[in-house]
Amino acid sequence: MQSPETAAEMLQIAARAADAKGGEDLLALNVSEPLPLVDIFLLVTGNSERNVAAIADEIEDQLLEAGHRRVRREGRAESRWVLLDFGDLVVHVFHSEERVYYGLERLWKDCPVVPIELPAPAAGE
């Protein structure tokens, strides 16, 4: 298992990648108490199947480039809910309808929110 600092670093890389591809409603939850093998869940919404796929691909590319090994990927073919498992960080990239339907925020509502640091938007955006 990696350190919590590594999970936090992975979160920031994944969040920046998701934001760069138009990911919305980013939410990170510390799930280490109920799930001892995972530290953080990152939830991201895309506005279409193509957008979900692009967000998931960018997150995966950036984490791999930073030297983090992917354990598992599921849902890429349909691109309605893509799960990227990087061990201590698990990323869920949802189409907006799936995010509402499955309601992971409700399931994990007792878990603390982990702050996400994103670059400030450029002037005029």
Residue 123 domain flag: no
Residue 120 domain flag: no
What is the span of the domain harbouring residue 77?
4-114
Query: How many other C-beta atoms can be found within 10 angstroms of the C-beta atom of residue 46?
Result: 28
Listed in order, strand segments (DSSP E) in the chain are: 24-30, 40-46, 72-74, 81-85, 89-95, 113-114
What's the CATH code of the domain at 21? Answer: 3.30.460.10
Hunting for tokens 């598992």 — which residue is that?
72
Number of domains in the chain: 1
Tell me the whole-structure pTM to 2 decimals. 0.91
What's the mean pLDDT in 10-32?
97
Q: Is the pLDDT assigned to residue 99 strictly greater than 60?
A: yes
Residue 125 domain flag: no
Q: What is the pLDDT of residues 33-86, one digit of tens each?
A: 998 889 999 999 999 999 999 999 999 999 999 999 999 999 988 999 999 999
CA–CA dist 24, 10 (Å, integer)? 18
pLDDT reported for residue 125 = 53
CA–CA dist 124, 27 (Å, integer)? 25
Residue 19 domain flag: yes
What's the mean pLDDT in 19-41?
94
Residue 1: pLDDT band with limits 50, 70, 90: very low
Closest CA to 44 of 94, 117, 118, 112: 94
CA atoms within 13 A on the CB side of 54: 12
Residue 121 domain flag: no
71 vs 121, more confident: 71
Q: Is the pLDDT assigned to residue 124 strictly greater than 60?
A: no
Residue 4: pLDDT band with limits 50, 70, 90: low
pLDDT reported for residue 36 = 85
CA–CA dist 13, 70 (Å, integer)? 14
pLDDT reported for residue 123 = 56
